[in-house]
């Protein structure tokens, strides 16, 4: 079974999260074994590098990916990785994706929804999509906090603690990511790069459960395909530790089991002992779909990367 780094039932305090994130050795391996996982996909978590100055972002992407590659080389049976990309400099980010995939070995890259004021569908980022499609390397779309003006308009006035929760893990992160995912589709990114593969967490970042209504938009946007087709051909889903049988059934019905990959969210959420494996074993799935979601879909996606 495979999962991405960063698992429900338990969420550490920020200082504890930071300590766990930088540990790449025994404690991380024990936590993974406890929940029943075999392989973890490592990546640089929030805040990433997308809001840094260009030179700083480029320098940090290089050192981060070198560390990632060394960690995976030390335990290739237990670790895989998503590269960090300096999106403030899209050309350098595309070059780094090529270096990473062909020389260092990550299985794609993790990107955030926005780089300062630019959303990911901005034409400036086309070199990244072009490189990802050519390499057949997936991009993991990671949530981030909504823009300050959005937080002030929609998530403010409930008290500091409630405001923060509402704007981030409660809804804001996921609604923002869903909007950005739809922008990629509606702006024609997947029509321009039909082979591009994107992975999104949290069962599709709210979009999947409103897909029938959203289907009314493509006719106005003049897309090449119905909206659901992009989910079945360009987008992969993970639960990100949200181990819900209802969500799993809905996702399997809408996009099919071959587009779902089991994933946790270590260390921000953590399933009880054996919980991740037990969730999959007890799910209302055929044995074939259980294998697909547990590891085969991930293995197939990685096997297609042009190294």
The yes-or-no verdict on residue 27 having pLDDT over 80 is no
In this predicted structure, what is the pLDDT of residue 13? 59
Rounded-to-integer distance, Cα 151 and Cα 158, Å:
12
Confidence of residue 217 (pLDDT cuts 50, 70, 90): confident
Partners of 83 in beta bridges: 109
Please provide residue 143's backbone torsions phi and psi, each rounded to the nearest 5 degrees: -65, 155
pLDDT in tens, 81-134: 999 999 999 999 999 999 999 999 999 999 998 999 999 999 999 999 999 999
Estimate to the nearest angstrom the gap between the alpha carbon of 297 and the chain centroid. 15
Confidence of residue 264 (pLDDT cuts 50, 70, 90): confident
**pLDDT greater than 70 at residue 76:** yes
Choosing from 89, 107, 265, 289, the catalytic residue is 265
Cα separation, 85 vs 8, whole angstroms: 28
% of the chain with per-residue pLDDT over 90: 67
| Contact between residue 227 and residue 254 where contact means Cβ atoms under 8 Å apart | no
Neighbours of 162 (CB within 10 A): 13
Pairwise CA distance, residues 65 & 119, whole Å? 24
Range 57-71 average pLDDT: 95
What is the average per-residue pLDDT within 226-243? Answer: 92
Task: Please name each of the domains of the chain with its CATH number.
Answer: 2-303 (3.20.20.140)
User: Is 265 an annotated catalytic residue?
Assistant: yes
Please state whether beta strands 79-81 and 39-42 pair in parallel, antiparallel, or not at all (unpaired).
Answer: parallel
**Could you tell me the maximum CA-CA distance found in the chain, to the nearest angstrom?**
53
Overall average pLDDT of the 146-167 stretch: 95
Indicate the pTM of the whole model.
0.90
């Amino acid at each position: 079974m495979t999962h991405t780094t960063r698992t429900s039932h338990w969420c550490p305090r920020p200082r504890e999260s930071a300590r766990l994130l930088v540990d790449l050795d025994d404690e991380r391996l024990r936590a993974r074994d406890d929940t029943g996982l075999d392989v973890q996909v490592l990546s640089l978590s929030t805040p990433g590098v997308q809001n840094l100055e260009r030179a700083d972002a480029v320098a940090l992407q290089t050192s981060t990916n070198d560390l990632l590659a060394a960690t995976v080389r030390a335990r290739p049976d237990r670790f895989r990785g998503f590269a960090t990309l300096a999106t403030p400099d899209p050309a350098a980010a595309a070059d780094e994706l090529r270096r990473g995939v062909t020389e260092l070995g990550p299985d794609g890259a993790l990107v955030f929804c926005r780089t300062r004021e630019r959303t990911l569908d901005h034409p400036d980022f086309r070199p990244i999509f072009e490189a990802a499609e050519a390499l057949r390397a997936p991009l993991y779309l990671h949530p981030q906090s909504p823009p300050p003006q959005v937080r002030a308009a929609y998530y403010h006035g409930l008290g500091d603690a409630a405001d923060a929760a509402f704007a981030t893990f409660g809804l804001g992160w996921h609604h923002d990511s869903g909007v950005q995912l739809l922008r990629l589709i509606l702006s024609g990114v997947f029509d321009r790069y039909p082979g591009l593969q994107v992975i999104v967490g949290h069962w599709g970042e709210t979009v999947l459960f409103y897909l029938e209504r959203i289907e009314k938009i493509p006719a106005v946007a003049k897309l090449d395909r119905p909206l659901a087709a992009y989910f079945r051909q360009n987008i992969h889903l993970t639960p990100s530790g949200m181990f819900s049988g209802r969500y799993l059934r809905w996702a399997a019905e809408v996009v099919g089991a071959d587009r779902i990959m089991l994933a946790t969210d270590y260390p921000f959420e953590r399933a009880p002992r054996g919980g991740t494996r037990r969730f999959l074993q007890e799910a209302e799935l055929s044995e074939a779909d259980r294998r697909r979601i547990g590891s085969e879909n991930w293995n197939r996606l990685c096997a297609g990367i042009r190294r």
